[in-house]
Amino acid sequence: MISKSLFSALFLVSSTLAIQLSDVLQKSRVQLQWKQEATNKFSWNATQELKWSVANAFIDVQTSPDGDVYAIQNISSEMSQPKYHIYMYDITTNVWNLTDPAFQAKAIRFDRLGSKFYLTPENCVLNNQKQTLLCGVSDFEVTVDKKIYGLIDNSGRQQADTLSSSIWKTASNDSSYTYKALAGYKGITLLKDQPILINQDGRVDAQYGSEKLISISAGIDGSLWALLDEINVTDYTVLKWQTVSQKWYKITGVSGVSLSSYNEISVAIVDSKGLLSLSSQVGHQDEAAYVVETAPPTIAPSTTQSQTTIPQTTIAPTTIAPTTNPPTTTVPTTVPPLPIVLSQPSNSILTHSDFKWLQTAVTGKNFTEFSLLFSATKNTKSLAEAVNTILGKSDVFVLMRTNTSVVIGFYYKTAIAQASDNYLSSNNELTALLSVTKQLRFMGITDQNRHFGLFNNNRYILLNDQGGMTFGLNCYVDSTIDMTLGKDRVRQYKNVSGNALYEPNNQLSNNSDINNDFVECQQIEIYQAKQ
């Protein structure tokens, strides 16, 4: 993992034409494969985890429809006017190239056909040939039918136009362009050539939740990213618009002051220190073979107890917002119904395909949303911190990556009210033991042994008639400790004449020794699921 602080000291180079990235960064650049991924159709079964790495000192960032990344560097000193340089990132050589040392621009923009436009330090919009089209705007966007939406600056060089009016003014030098200068806005992006504006008070259109935003950017595939306006922060949380639920959700792992998105997975962000981060999938993970056949039957025989009727919610089938223009450079995308994952850590142990599996891993459930309650790596957080997050919460998944290289865990339905609730004190309605890695689930079939709660001073336990797991919910490991005081343990049971009896079995634990049912937590994540 590359830390930001490692890089924050390295930069602010203006004299060289190309900034050679450090070796370690080059390596991660190669892994990023921004454009290669961008040309792939995005597949949701690949991991959604985003990886961040820091590149350079910049004030603004823009991605072209070809997936090229451009960034603007602001070189300023107390003695002189700021100088603005445009760099382009070369994926094959992993170098930021200064595009034209003699030319300055505060921003670079593209229409969807890839034509370039610039905003000069004097707030004039230039076309590809660097001819002036108009002056007096602080930002702008250009549609494929050559309409420029400008945001008026305070220089008085433009009269304000309204969004709804049909009047478009003709640009100078190239009359094929027309424009409007809009007042009262501080941010703009075009989604399939339709403007989405951020009002002066920071609020975006009601269609996008009237959220208070700092910056907004639509990718060529119709994906929409933004920075959330928060009080007392210098770097703002990254948001992604979820078309299925029509909601913004937070992306963890990076924050910033300016962003530009290329598509569903590729977004570039500049933070307050002028550092640029690019997102990427960590890697295309192969989906694990679906091995549910080897799991015990998961249909509960009807019993008199605990048969809750579970409402099945249906997620409306969705496509990306309909285009108003026939798409030219856009990739038509259909987004499958997805579980929404809130606050997933950037170093998450789970991939998006894992969540897809978890969505229906519990019999009778079809979850649409997972929201992180707690995460920790080994021996970094207290048990109280972990337990406080689950009190009163139902439909909880506790999942950990173990020293045996699997992600295993459990699900329980019935909330515990207090940290001290003993596991034997109440029956749970629904429980499941899970191996996410192997896609195995062991549902409690009967209500026999169906418990979740405190096991000893530092371990909680989930039990059902198929087995049990004893976990330190905070990922606490002490290899010298004995079992009664607390070790992570995975047991599997078999039905012998109606009784659940312990059976040595390493399907869940993945220990090579079948009789060893101890594992050690390396990293843990706890989620609450919603249907």
Nearest-CB residue to ligand NAG? Answer: 172
In the sheet with 137-142, reading across from the earlier edge strand, the strands are: 137-142, 147-152, 178-182, 169-170
Considering the rule CB under 6 A, would residue 26 count as an interface residue with ligand NAG?
no
Encoded one letter per residue, x for contact with ligand NAG by CB under 6 A and - for no contact, window 138-177 reads ----------------------------------xx----
Instruction: Confirm if 343 and 314 have CB atoms less than 8 A apart.
Output: no
Considering the rule CB under 6 A, would residue 128 count as an interface residue with ligand NAG?
no
Q: How many CB atoms lie within 10 A of CB 383?
A: 19
* Bridge-based pairing state of the strands 185-191 and 194-199: antiparallel
Nearer to ligand NAG, 59 or 387 (CB): 59
Nearer to ligand NAG, 240 or 365 (CB): 365
We find the least distance from the C-beta atom of residue 247 to ligand NAG, in angstroms, to be: 17
Considering the rule CB under 6 A, would residue 531 count as an interface residue with ligand NAG?
no
Q: Which of 1, 12, 18, 384 binds ligand NAG (CB under 6 A)?
A: 18
- List Cα–Cα distances, 486 to 268, 355, 403, in angstroms: 44, 29, 16
Q: For residue 528, which amino acid is it? A: Q
- List Cα–Cα distances, 167 to 144, 295, 354, 513, in angstroms: 18, 66, 51, 77
Of 193-201, 415-423, 438-446, 451-459, the segment contacting ligand NAG by CB under 6 A is 438-446
| 277-336 binders of ligand NAG (CB under 6 A) | 284, 286-287, 314-315
Instruction: Confirm if 235 and 228 have CB atoms less than 8 A apart.
Output: no
Nearer to ligand NAG, 166 or 405 (CB): 405
Of 186-194, 206-214, 239-247, 493-501, the segment contacting ligand NAG by CB under 6 A is 493-501
Of 27-35, 241-249, 386-394, 512-520, the segment contacting ligand NAG by CB under 6 A is 512-520
384: alpha, beta or left? (left if phi > 0; alpha if psi -120 to 50):
alpha
Q: Which of 525, 354, 385, 387 is nearest to 455 (CA)?
A: 387
Nearer to ligand NAG, 266 or 421 (CB): 266
We find the least distance from the C-beta atom of residue 197 to ligand NAG, in angstroms, to be: 20
Both tokens of residue 194?
């339709």
Considering the rule CB under 6 A, would residue 505 count as an interface residue with ligand NAG?
no
Q: Which of 457, 456, 384, 444 is nearest to 410 (CA)?
A: 444
8: alpha, beta or left? (left if phi > 0; alpha if psi -120 to 50):
alpha
Nearer to ligand NAG, 243 or 403 (CB): 403
Q: Which of 273, 520, 522, 530 binds ligand NAG (CB under 6 A)?
A: 520
- What does the alpha-carbon distance between residue 36 and residue 92 come to, in Å, rounded to a whole number? 11
Q: Which of 405, 530, 529, 423 is nearest to 473 (CA)?
A: 423
Q: Which of 9, 167, 206, 231 binds ligand NAG (CB under 6 A)?
A: 231
Considering the rule CB under 6 A, would residue 243 count as an interface residue with ligand NAG?
no
Instruction: Confirm if 256 and 225 have CB atoms less than 8 A apart.
Output: no
Encoded one letter per residue, x for contact with ligand NAG by CB under 6 A and - for no contact, window 382-421 reads ---------------------xxxx---------------
Considering the rule CB under 6 A, would residue 446 count as an interface residue with ligand NAG?
yes
Instruction: Confirm if 41 and 331 have CB atoms less than 8 A apart.
Output: yes
Residue with tokens 């892994």: 31
Contacts of 157 (CB under 8 A, 6+ apart): 123, 135, 136
Considering the rule CB under 6 A, would residue 15 count as an interface residue with ligand NAG?
no
- What does the alpha-carbon distance between residue 138 and residue 29 come to, in Å, rounded to a whole number? 32
Q: Which of 33, 43, 243, 389 binds ligand NAG (CB under 6 A)?
A: 43
Size of the site for ligand NAG (CB under 6 A): 48
Instruction: Confirm if 370 and 528 have CB atoms less than 8 A apart.
Output: yes
Q: How would you class 2 by CB atoms within 10 Å of its CB: exposed for 0-12, middle for 13-18, buried for 19 or more?
A: middle
Q: Which of 519, 524, 526, 529 binds ligand NAG (CB under 6 A)?
A: 519
Both tokens of residue 484?
């009664």
Instruction: Confirm if 136 and 157 have CB atoms less than 8 A apart.
Output: yes
We find the least distance from the C-beta atom of residue 226 to ligand NAG, in angstroms, to be: 19
Residue 5 backbone phi and psi in degrees, to 5 = -65, -30
Considering the rule CB under 6 A, would residue 13 count as an interface residue with ligand NAG?
no
Encoded one letter per residue, x for contact with ligand NAG by CB under 6 A and - for no contact, window 56-95 reads ---x--------------x-x-----x-----x-x--x-x
- What does the alpha-carbon distance between residue 299 and residue 364 come to, in Å, rounded to a whole number? 9
What letter would DSSP give residue 178? E
Please report which helix (H) or strand (E) contains residue 110, including its range: strand 107-110
Nearer to ligand NAG, 131 or 426 (CB): 131
We find the least distance from the C-beta atom of residue 391 to ligand NAG, in angstroms, to be: 26
We find the least distance from the C-beta atom of residue 387 to ligand NAG, in angstroms, to be: 22
Q: Which of 8, 115, 306, 366 binds ligand NAG (CB under 6 A)?
A: 366
We find the least distance from the C-beta atom of residue 438 to ligand NAG, in angstroms, to be: 5
Binding site for ligand NAG (CB under 6 A): 18, 43, 45-46, 59, 74, 76, 82, 88, 90, 93, 95, 97, 106, 131-132, 172-173, 231-232, 284, 286-287, 314-315, 337, 360, 366, 403-406, 437-438, 445-446, 465, 479, 495, 497-498, 510-512, 516, 518-520
